[in-house]
Amino acid sequence: MMVHRKVYFICLFWASVLGLQAQSRALQDTLNNRVMLLGALLQSGNSEQAQIEAEWYRDFLSRHRLPIQPEALTLISSIYKANKDERSATLMLSEAELSARRDPNPVTKAALLSVLVKECARWDLPELALTTQQMLSVAQDSIRTRAQRKEKVQVKLQLDSLVELRKKELAIQEQYFQVDRNKAYVLGGVLGIVFFALVLVNLRNVRLWRKRLQKKEMEMALLQAQPDVLPVNLSTQTATIEEVPELVADVTPILSPASPANAWFGGEHPEQIALIIEPNRQIVLYLKSLLADRFQIETARTPYEGLQMANSILPDLIVCDAILNGKTGIDVARQLKLSEKTSHIPIVLLSDHHGNEGKLDALRAGADVWFTRPILDDHFDASIQRLIDDRKIKHTLFQRFLHLYFSENRISIEDPFLAQTVQWIEQNLSDPNFTAEEIARKMQLTKQHYFKKLLVLTGKEPVQLIREMRLEKAKSLLEKRAGTPQAISELVGFSSPGTFSLAFKEYFGENTLLLNVEYRR
């Protein structure tokens, strides 16, 4: 009998639980349907019928002691607002506040209170809004406390799992061979010494083979220079430098700086100079490796040293870091671009910024090219080559400008340095004693600085430029039949007609007398 009673009570308990769940689902479905109905009535503009349904909804909640839902609260408040029923709205908000007080779940409580705060502000109920806001703060603090507590529990579980993993790892390590730390240091030191000795032996062998290779290159150069003196059958007999000392002098033309064989001995040096203004030695060494095949490298570590070297040696390229000690590289680059001596020198700026910020740094400094570290070899080489090609293009454009200067199709030149140079040469063409030193003095530049800058911008030395302008002027006068070649040669500053005739034929490839006769015909 006792067993049957226990089974009976268990079945009764589960039946009541299932009944409560079914009843709860039915109530929830009813509430959802009523909320949908209220929304449809309010949207259709039937506010009076909507308020009747709202009162039924509130009565239904009161009879079943259910809290009002946040979305229902907003919807009913809008219905009362449409009907201008402030009394019902105040009563509903007060009931919602009491319902929120009784709610033990801080999540649902906070959701209802957040909506209630907005509706109290909407109906201008400051006291109720203040009370609701205080309750909302308490509920949110409770939610954060729960979240922190849950997070602490998760962290503790993770720590426990890490401890277990560490124990397993130690257990696995105990199965392997272990060496004392001091013994490991000694063993590592011995291995390091052995490795260092092997490296030294390898370097010695490399140096030895390099010397042998240089010796063979010298012997091949000797063979090419004097094939008749050395033995013919190289398979049985080989001549060396020690055996034929008298031929060493004959190898000088072969080992000139332009010859490939001289590259083995480091005899070929680039003519152009690159100045690197960078305090970091590692970056300087890296930039040297990228530029050494095209430039002689000069370095400066400080802004003052960089400005001083740039004004003294007038390099063909300046690579400047945007960050220097005591003064930014942007200011250094800007000062170089504003100076008359160094404004023509292309500047490469190394910036720490990316995208538009790096481009802004370059524009502020007046730099021609900018890079963001780390520098990519291919991109850097391509940009430097582009700067070199741009210089050649400028030389070609200036040559075209010079050809058209004394014609009706004269084109303008934007560079003020070149414009003043050409203007002063034109004004003194008839003076055979006119030299470029006078232009340098007028521009307040030294002879070296002026000559170097003119050569960089035009590809011509001052003497060559003056000579070519005199010949271009002479050709223009001959084409206009302005006088005899003798008179024109004096007019453009040549000391004698014979010198003028030879120079004209060498430059234009035609004789001045024949040209004058042709125009007279």
**Under 8 Å between Cβ of 334 and 305:** no
Please tell me the least confidently modeled range out of 51-65, 246-260, 356-370.
Answer: 246-260
SS3 state of residue 492: coil
Joined together, the tokens standing for residue 94 give 């007060």
Concatenated DSSP letters of 399-452: HHHHHTTTSTT------HHHHHHHHHHHHTTT-TT--HHHHHHHTT--HHHHHH
In this predicted model, what pLDDT tens digit does every residue of 170-207 receive, in sequence order?
888 777 766 677 878 888 888 989 998 999 888 888 87
**pLDDT per residue as tens digits for the range 477-512:** 888 887 888 888 888 888 888 888 888 888 887 665
pLDDT at 267 over 60: no
For residue 24, pLDDT over 70 is answered with no
Q: Which run of H or of E encompasses 306?
A: helix 303-313
How many angstroms separate the first and last alpha carbons of the chain? 149
Per residue in 228-253, pLDDT tens? 333 333 333 333 333 333 333 343 33
The answer to whether 130 touches 97, Cβ cutoff 8 Å, is no
Task: Please give the structure tokens belonging to residue 4.
Answer: 């049957």
What integer best gives the mean pLDDT of the chain?
Answer: 77
Residue scoring higher pLDDT (219 or 459): 459
Mean pLDDT of 141-153: 90
Structure-block tokens of residue 142 = 């409770």
Tell me the domains of the chain and their CATH numbers.
28-146 (1.25.40), 187-265 (no CATH), 273-375 (3.40.50.2300), 392-520 (1.10.10.60)
Q: How confident is the model at residue 430 (pLDDT cuts 50, 70, 90)?
A: confident
pLDDT above 80 for 326: no
Look at residue 193 in the predicted model and tell me its pLDDT.
Answer: 92
Top pLDDT among 269 and 403 is at 403
